[in-house]
Structure formats: C-alpha cells, structure tokens
Amino acid sequence: MQWWNRLRKHPKFHVYFSVLLLLTLCTVAFLWNLGSTGLVDETEPLFAEAARQMVVTGDWITPYFNGETRFDKPPLVYWLMAVGYQIFGTNEWAVRLPSALGAIALTLGCFWTLLYFGGSPSPEKEPKPRFWLTAWIGSALVTLNPQTLIWARTGVSDMLLSGCMGCALLCFFWGYASSVEGTGNREQGIAPRPRAADKAQGNARQDGNREKKKPGNIKLLPNKGYFAFYILTAFAVLAKGPVGIVIPGLTIFIFLLCVGRFWQVVREMGIFVGGAVFLVLTVPWYVLVILRNGQTYIDSFFGYHNFERFTGVVNGHGAPWFFYFGVVLVGCLPWSVYLPLAIARSMRFYKIVRLRFWKRSRLRKQPRSEQLGLFALCWFFSIFGFFTIAVTKLPSYTLPLIPAAAILVALYWSQIFTAIPKRPQRLIARQGAAVRPRAAERRATPRRRQGARERASSKRPAQAFEETSNDADLGTRTKTEGRGQKGQTDADREWDIHQDSGKKVAKEWGFLATGIFNALLLLVLAIVAFYSPNLIGYDPAAPNLGELFRQTGLHLRGGIIWGMVSGAIALLLLQPQIRRWILLANLLGFFAFIIFALMPASEFIDRERQLPLRELAATITQVQQPGEEIFMTGFKKPSLVFYTQRPVNFIGDKNSAIARLQQEPTNAPTLLLLAQPTTFANTFDLQPNQYENLGQRGAYQLIRLDKQILLNSPEQ
C-alpha cells in the first residue's frame, strides 16, 4: 500500500477520484444513450402512455392507457414521467429517467454508507484505505450487473421501487448507527468501546456523555436518518404499493430481533411523527383514487395485483421454489459467484446459525456502526424468502436485494483486496481498554514484571488472535491464544490481527474453488456468446433476427471479451499474491462488455425489431383521415399507441374486427389496418385490389380498407 500512503498526503484526491469514479459508472451504465433506442414492447409503452395521458387530460389521479383505466401500479412513476415530458418533451429519455435516477441514488447511497460503515474503528481519525476501497467496490457492484443495468434503462416502476426501498433501508441504518442513543460517532460512524457501567445498566451509550436515558422514554422527533427512511418508504409505497412498506418493515423487524434492540430502536425512531409523515405522503392519493373509481380499483389493485400475485399464479408467471437461486446467480454476474462465500463468512462471524434469541448479549454489546454486515444479511434473506414464498415469480422481484448482496460481497472483498498497513506506533487509549496483565506479572515485582514482559514479547508473536470474518467485523473483540502485552489496546490488537488477513483469505480453499468456478462460468458465457445467433428464437416481429445478428459480429466481441476475462482470472489464480485482483478483472470485463457488445447489440435489436413499427406509426399520423380508426391484428404492440398518440384497437381475428365495427360505428368509411402481409390474405380473405397499401416496414404492413368490404364478407 505504498501508493496509498503517498496519496494520503493529498486528502482531496479521495474526493476527486470518488466523484470521477461515480460519474463514470453512472454515466456509462445509466445515462449513456438512454433515449437512443425506442420503447420496448410489451410493458414499457404501457407506463409511457399512461403518463402521457396524465399530461394530456390533466387527470393526475386515475391512470389510463388506450382509453381504459390502468390500475397495475400506483402513480409515482407516472408523475415523474409526466414531469419529464414537460421538461424534456415526450420522448424515451423522459420515460426512462426515473429508473436511471433510482439506480444512481442506489449507487450513491451504497457508496456513502460503505464509506463510513464499511470498516472497523481505526486508531486514526480519518477513514482507513479499506473504507474508501470498500465504498468503491460496493458502488461498482451495485452498478455492474445485468439486472441493475437492464431495469435502470427501462421505463417501468421496478427500478424506481428498488431505488426508493434500498435508499430507505440505508437511511434507516444511518439513523440506527448515528442515533444519539446509539454507539456511533455522527461524523465518522466510528463507535467507541462500551463502558462497564453502560454494560451493567443495559442502556445505550452517548458520545462523550455519561447521561443515561430511561428505557421507557420515547423520542418525539426522529433523527435525520430515520426521517429520510419514512419519506423514502412512502415513495416506495407510491411506486408499487404495499410491498414498499412490507419488505422494509420485514427487514428491520428481523434485524432488530437479531440484535435484541427492537423496543429500544422503536422508542428512538420517533415513530409517531414519522408515521404521520408517511401517512400524509401516501394516503391522500389512495383515498382520491378509491373515491373516484370505487370497488373497481380495490379489486384490481389490492386484490388482483397484490394479494393474488402472492397467493396464486398471475399471467402465467409461475416457477419452482428454487427459481430465484438461478435468477440471483445470472442477474448479478459476474460477481454473484462470490456471494455464497460472503454470506457464509458473515453468518459465521455473527453466529446466525447458532444464534439464540434469548442469548444475544454479544450482538447487544457490539457497536451499532459495526453491524452493517448483519443488516445486509437480514435485508437479503427477507426479500429472497418473501418472494420465494410468493407463488407468482418474476426475475425483477429480486432487484431490491441487489444492494444488500453488493454490500456483503464488498465487505468480503475489502478484506481480500486491501493490504492493511503496519500498526501505528502511537496508540489512542479511547479506542479500547488495556489488556489486563497475567496473574504472574501482577504478583511480580516491577523489575521482574518488566523482565517477564520482555521475555514474553520475544517468544510470543504479536498476532496472537484468531482472524475475524470481514471488514465490517474488525472492531469486535476476538478470542485470544495468548494474553497480549500489557498496555496494548483492543484496536491495537485488532490492527495486528488483520495485517495479512487479505492474503490469508485469498489462500483459503473456498476462495480458490470459487475462483475456479468463476473462470469456468465466464468461459461458458464466452461459448454462449459465440453461439448466441443460433440461440435466438423465432420472433414474428423480426423473423431473421438471428441471422442478421450473426452478420454484425457482435457475438464474437462478447465471446472474446469473456474469454479473455476467463483466461485472466485463471492466470491470477496461479499466483496467490495477486489473486485479490480477480474481482477487478470481473468488473473491468463487464464494463468492456457493456461498451463494446451490449450497447451496440441493444441498438441493433431496436433497429430490427422496434424501428419498423415507429416508422409506420409516423406514417399513420400523416395519412390518417378524420374519424378513421386504427386496427392492429397478429400483434399487440402498445408502443403503437404511444408513438401515434391515438387509440388503437387490438383485435385477434376477422370476427373480432367485425364485432368492433358493429358495436361502435363511425362516420369514416375506411379504417387503417396494421398486420403481417400474409394476414390480409389468410385471415381477412382480402385480395390486393381490395385495399390500399400505405407502407411496409420489416414484418409489418399498413393498409387502408373500406369498412363495407369487411362488414359484407362472411364471418369465419
């Protein structure tokens, strides 16, 4: 770490480098070419058009799509899109900006939290290198994974929910760790050692203040962290409904049970004021939409889209109970392979498997600022377990657990990736109490005691204590093999313990086996990339998509990138001294994959699959006559409604078209029909001389048809 010691002479470099890193990550992953591709059918246009209808009609209470109410989701995502339309215009950038902002907020929140709580108390005032590195690693992990990348660039409510929920939980931990009744320092997030009197009383400690608070006292006002938690949880409820409070509440409940501070934290959270703020932000819209739509909204939103999704299969989205194991592995690649190691290591330290809820004195004594790893464990397992129990299963449901997974892996890797500098000579006594001398030393005369200490120090190694689990655990007391030296502080001993812990962990068999699996998995991914054109199934909207993709050569780029990363990891595994750079190789490989393969591939798919529909939508807006209706058959593409900004009748066959015309006849003698060219002859029994061809793009053809020809034709 000589390079770090040189950089520490310039403290502002930390800030400048962090800002540059975060700007680069967020710009490339979330903002670069955000609006360069069209809306992707089938879900994204539903949100975009509902928001546009709010701007057009001025009705900001009831969402509508294509003339019908849309009760799938609450209004927050629609409101943000509508505001974006008024600022940036009605375009794809405004549609996807709320999702991008949610992902950016998660990245910043994880970075800031890990910066202050991602390490242990240190004998110096400023954060140690591990704090900064842990924060950099954590922010990179939150950003560089397929799930975050895809949903942050998609205009739906999933990423907004994850951003609000994730930031709410991070704010809760800030409030928990920096509470005046907690153990944390407000500025550094560093906890001093508990005083014996505080242990005996069982009360929380205050920084530099011995005053005790009565257990029954309830705080009226929450601190800043708790207050932000209430606001962001309200936003989560407005983003996707009751799940926005159920998941954070479940996570916090499990965490507080584990640490044995449930009622203490409830008293200090200012729950009455915070609850009032939460209700003021969430209840008004739900009351207004129920008053306007009545039982229809209650049955649709609360009944169908919430209760039935949990208890039954909705829209055919069923899957086996182990579905999310594969989703997390694939959705968090390439770093998800180290998640089991990180979980196991944290569980071993916090003794989750053997934890007895009636014997939690160890966790109660532990400073709050050192419990980020335990909080991330509760966060991860509460979401994973909740949606595993739910009957309806979708890949996007695991999106809110990605910040917790990233924190766990960052805490694990910070120990491997960081070489801790030698123990400082100057000790700060307030970081911990001195170790008591052995009984023989206490009975000896001062001269004999000094000689015994010198002989003991020459025979006994300084690092006489066993290793703890990860960076978040460095500040806890560990079991000793020897008593240490007289006058040595707890923080000083811990500093000795972990000087070479990163190298030790890198040599463990579990880490080595996971690294080998990492290299093999990326090799398989490279092979899949090479053969990806053959794996693309038939798509009626782009029948030749696989062959056209082969001609671009993008599959070769992706295969080469992952093959090179796999080879680099294999080489790193051969040298134990440099194995710590495996994670960096994974992240750089994924970063290169985004720039050179994934972004060009998304533009290619948009050009072949979505662009023809947008071009015909532009044609419709130019040729449509007054009162002329638009029909689409063979496809159900909601993006046609958004790009034409007109109602579209989605029909299944000729009979449904006739029924629609007979139900609500219009004065216009013709209609516009969009379908595949073969549909007109096979489904509608039309000859080329019976309709006017207005344009053909890709798999779509637009015609103008006389209504009487359709109405007079025999039904099938």
45-74 tens-digit pLDDT? 999 999 999 999 999 999 999 989 999 899
Helices and strands of the chain, counted as H and E runs? 35, 7
Look up the domain containing 554 and give its range. 507-602
What is the amino acid identity at position 691? Answer: Y
458 and 520 together in one domain: no
Q: What's the whole-number mean pLDDT along residues 151-173? A: 95
**337 & 475 share domain:** no
- Total number of domains constituting the chain: 4
Which of 484, 501, 518 marks a domain boundary? 501
Predicted confidence at residue 440, as pLDDT, reads 47
DSSP notation for 596-613: IIIHHHHHHHIIIIIHHH
Report whether pLDDT(467) > 50: no
Average pLDDT of the chain, as a whole number: 80
Report pLDDT digits (tens) over 563-616.
999 999 999 998 877 888 899 999 999 999 999 999 999 999 999 999 999 999
Residues 300 and 434 in one domain: no
Give the pLDDT confidence score for residue 417 in this predicted structure: 61
Q: In this predicted structure, what is the pLDDT of residue 627?
A: 87
More confident of the two residues 185 and 534:
534
Residue 680 confidence (pLDDT): 85
Domain match, 108 and 230 both:
yes
- Residue 372 reports pLDDT greater than 50: yes
Residue 195 confidence class, pLDDT cut points 50, 70, 90: very low
- Cβ(162)–Cβ(402) under 8 Å? yes
Q: Is pLDDT of 141 > 80?
A: yes
Local confidence band at 394 (pLDDT 50, 70, 90 cut-offs): confident
**Hey, what's the torsion of the CAs at 502, 504, 510, 512, to 10 degrees?**
80
pLDDT(100) > 60:
yes
Place of tokens 């044609």: 619
Asked, for residue 607, whether it belongs to a domain, the answer is no
Q: What is the pLDDT of residue 197?
A: 36
Asked if residues 409 and 141 have their Cβ atoms less than 8 Å apart, the reply is yes
Tell me which DSSP letter residue 11 carries: T
Whether 631 and 579 map to the same domain: the answer is: no
In b/e form, how buried is each residue of 320-350, taking b as 16+ CB within 10 angstroms?
Answer: eeebbeebbeebbbbbbbbbebbbebbbebb
Shared domain for 25 and 78, answered yes or no, is: yes
Percent with pLDDT over 70 in the chain: 76
**Last residue within a domain, chosen from 373, 392, 417:** 417
Task: Label residues 620-637 b or e (16+ Cβ within 10 Å = b).
Answer: beeebeeebbbbbbbbeb
The winner for highest mean pLDDT among 113-122, 183-192, 456-465 is: 113-122
Residue 5: which pLDDT band, with cuts at 50, 70 and 90? low
* One domain for residues 453 and 398: no
Residues 101-129: what's their mean pLDDT?
Answer: 74
Is the sign of the CA dihedral 618, 622, 625, 626 positive or negative?
A: positive
d(CA 549, CA 600): 11
Whether 441 and 402 share a structural domain: no
Quick one: 167 and 101 in the same domain? yes
pTM, full prediction:
0.83
DSSP one-letter string for 500-542 = THHHHHHTSHHHHHHHHHHHHHHHHHHHHHHTHHHH----TTS
Could you give the strand order of the β-sheet that contains 700-706, starting from the edge strand earlier in sequence? Answer: 649-651, 629-633, 670-675, 700-706, 691-697
Alpha helices (H) in 180-270, listed in sequence order: 196-201, 224-240, 243-259, 262-268
Q: How far is 84 from 52, CA to CA, in rounded Å?
A: 10
Instruction: Let me know if residue 616 belongs to a domain.
Output: no
Question: What pLDDT is recorded for position 623?
Answer: 93
Q: Per the domain annotation, does 552 fall within a domain?
A: yes
Name which residue leads in pLDDT, 704 or 504: 704
pLDDT surpassing 70 at residue 403: yes
Question: What is the chain's percent helix, strand, coil content, to nearest 5?
Answer: 65, 5, 30
Confidence label for 358 from pLDDT (cuts 50, 70 and 90)? low
Please report whether residue 630 resides in a domain.
yes
433 has pLDDT over 50 = no
Q: Determine the average pLDDT of the residues in 615-635.
A: 92
pLDDT at 415 over 80: no
Q: Using the predicted structure, report yes or no on whether residue 420 has a pLDDT greater than 50.
A: no
Residue 179 shares a structural domain with residue 305: yes
Question: For residue 630, what is the DSSP state?
Answer: E
Same domain, 658 and 676: yes
- For 196-249, write each residue's pLDDT tens digit: 334 434 444 443 343 344 455 677 788 899 999 999 999 999 999 999 999 999
Within-domain flag for 121: yes
Tell me: do 221 and 350 sit in the same domain. yes
The answer to the question of residue 240 being in a domain is yes
Report the alpha-carbon angle 265-266-271, nearest 5: 130
